[in-house]
Structure 1
Amino acid sequence: MPDLFTPEVPAATTAAGPRALRILGLDLSITAPGIACPNGDTVTITAKQPGDWRLMEIEAFIHTVVAEGVDYAVIEDLPTHAKAAGITGMVHGAIRLLLMTENVPYVVVTPATLKAYATGKGNADKTAMALAAFKRTGREFADDNQCDAWWLRAAGLDWYGAPEFDLPKAQRDRLAKAKWPQAVAR
């Protein structure tokens, strides 16, 4: 079995042979979490409930995606110096508990690592992230939450040996800063 930091992890297999990895990208917040589903679709959850009740809506939506099959989740880490970190932390806790309950391994990637992976610069802004996605794949997003979630999914696919596009080695090497779970047989 590959060790924790071996990027050449084989694709998951089924009785019918190899299948694509199912990576879920999560840019979590209480107001508008961005989700990149395993099939590549992106969505922003616009919770309708007030306050903490939004946690239930967010968890229910993500549970629906997880129930369809997820091999790994890639989550953008909490903001370090923001008042919103406490509120966003509640969302992280609810979703991490869901993933653990459903036996979905996950990794937390810092915003600087994600930005450096996507653009080559750890301090890139939201426009640079969107532009990098457009240049690589022609993708456009409804908002920056979907864009970040999409890059998180792309990072997971790349780390586990199934990149959807080429990036310079220096950008790909930035992913080693995260503590990726080992490949698991499913």
Structure 2
Amino acid sequence: MRFIGIDPSTKTGLVILDKHGEVIDTMEITAKGTDPGRMIDIIEQVDFQLDHGDQAAIEGFAYGAKGRAVDIQYGIGWGLRMRLFDGNTDYIEVAPAALKKFAGAKGNAKKDELAVHIFKRWGFEHPSDNVRDAFVLAQIARAVYLERNNRPIDLTAFQSAVVAAIINPPSKKKQGA
């Protein structure tokens, strides 16, 4: 049993944890060339790291962001989701604010502030903010899996709230209702 965190971007962060939450591997995946070839290369490199039975968490899209870089991130993000789905890899999507909250920061925390929370909580540090985000995502994948399977896990109240919202998302109100 492995838990995978994926922060999709042109520098995709990927972290693999074992069943105890210990780091097996960390990497920042990049590719050269032009798109869509570069996107495909990143997606294939991520796919190469996945094993049957992995439980994954991928960072949700930053809705409201604008620009060509965002278009490329969306392309990579959707490509990774399709690959996960097609490969029968169980995955959850985690909103950027939920990722920060799970680490103990506010939803609008800056990258350097989040790094401090990650180090204080887990003793994990890495020069890449993409890998740091992927680390938290892998921790969330593990927590959600354990909660869904009624296995004990020690979570703070705010971490439990994030996990509960992923497992039982609040119902969306219909427009005009």
- Give the shorter-chain TM-score range: 0.7 to 0.9
Unaligned runs of 5+ in 2: 169-177
- Count of matched residue pairs: 157
String of CA shifts for 1:9-28, please: whole Å, max 9, x gaps: xxxxxxxxxxxx31111100
Paired residue for 2:164? 176
User: Percent of aligned positions with the same letter in both sequences?
Assistant: 34
**Of 36-45 and 93-102, the range deviating more from structure 2:** 36-45
* CA shift in 2, pair 1:70/1:146, >3 Å: farther
**Residue aligned with 1:114, SS:** helix
Root-mean-square deviation (Å): 2.1
User: After the TM superposition, which residues 31-110 of structure 1 pair with which residues of structure 2 at under 5 Å, given as runs?
Assistant: 31-39=10-18, 40=23, 41-66=25-50, 68-83=51-66, 84-110=69-95
Deviation, 1:70, is 4.2
1:120–1:170: 8 Å Cα contact kept in structure 2? no
Question: Does structure 2 retain, via aligned residues, the 8 Å contact 1:159–1:175?
Answer: yes
For 2:70 and 2:60, locate their aligned partners in 1 and report how far apart those are by CA, in whole Å.
10
TM-score normalized by structure 2?
0.79
Question: Displacement of 1:110 after TM fit?
Answer: 0.5
Q: What stretches of structure 1 of length at least 5 have no aligned partner? A: 1-20, 181-186
Distance (whole Å) between structure 2 residues aligned to residue 166 and residue 136 of structure 1: 12
Contact 1:108 1:179 in 2 (8 A): no
2:96 maps to what in 1? 111
Give 4+ residue runs of structure 1 displaced > 4 Å after superposition.
Answer: none
TM-score by length of 1: 0.76
* 1-structure distance, mates of 2:14, 2:130: 8
Q: Is the 8 A contact 2:104 2:158 kept in 1?
A: no
Q: Is the 8 A contact 2:59 2:93 kept in 1?
A: yes
Q: Is the 8 A contact 2:31 2:41 kept in 1?
A: yes
User: How far off is 1:36 after superposition?
Assistant: 0.9
Separation (CA, whole Å) in 2 of partners of 1:116 and 1:32 = 23
Shift of 1:34: 0.6
Deviations 1:17-65 (A, max 9, x none): xxxx311111001x21111124422111121122321112111111111
- Distance in 2 (CA, whole Å) between partners of 1:168 and 1:38 is 20
Aligned CA distance change for structure 1 residues 159 and 151 (closer, same or farther; 3 Å): same
